[in-house]
Amino acid sequence: MPVENICFGLNRKDDEQSLYAFLNRFSALPLLQAIIPRLSDHEIVSLVDNLTGLMQKHLSEKEYHSLFLADL
């Protein structure tokens, strides 16, 4: 999805597609290399807590292992 098409709040379908594109762009190595060293300790802990909380809430233990830990 082109960056200019990323938008949130219109409808669930567009929100999901935009989130895929947003997270894909956010996880690009050059961006991560630029932003991670600038994060405070609190921001790192907060981000990890938020992401792990979402996984605990929405994934079964089996899904967590197969999708996140890649236990194949």
pTM for this structure?
0.83
Do the beta carbons of residue 68 and residue 59 sit within 8 Å? yes
Angstrom distance (rounded) from CA 49 to CA 40: 14
**Domain extent listing, the chain:** 1-38, 39-72
Q: How many CA atoms lie within 13 A of 42 on its CB side?
A: 0
Tokens representing 54 are 């979402």
Angstrom distance (rounded) from CA 62 to CA 15: 27
- Tens digit of each residue's pLDDT (9 = 90 or more) over 22-45: 999 999 999 999 999 999 999 999
Angstrom distance (rounded) from CA 26 to CA 4: 15
72: pLDDT confidence band, cut at 50, 70 and 90? Answer: low
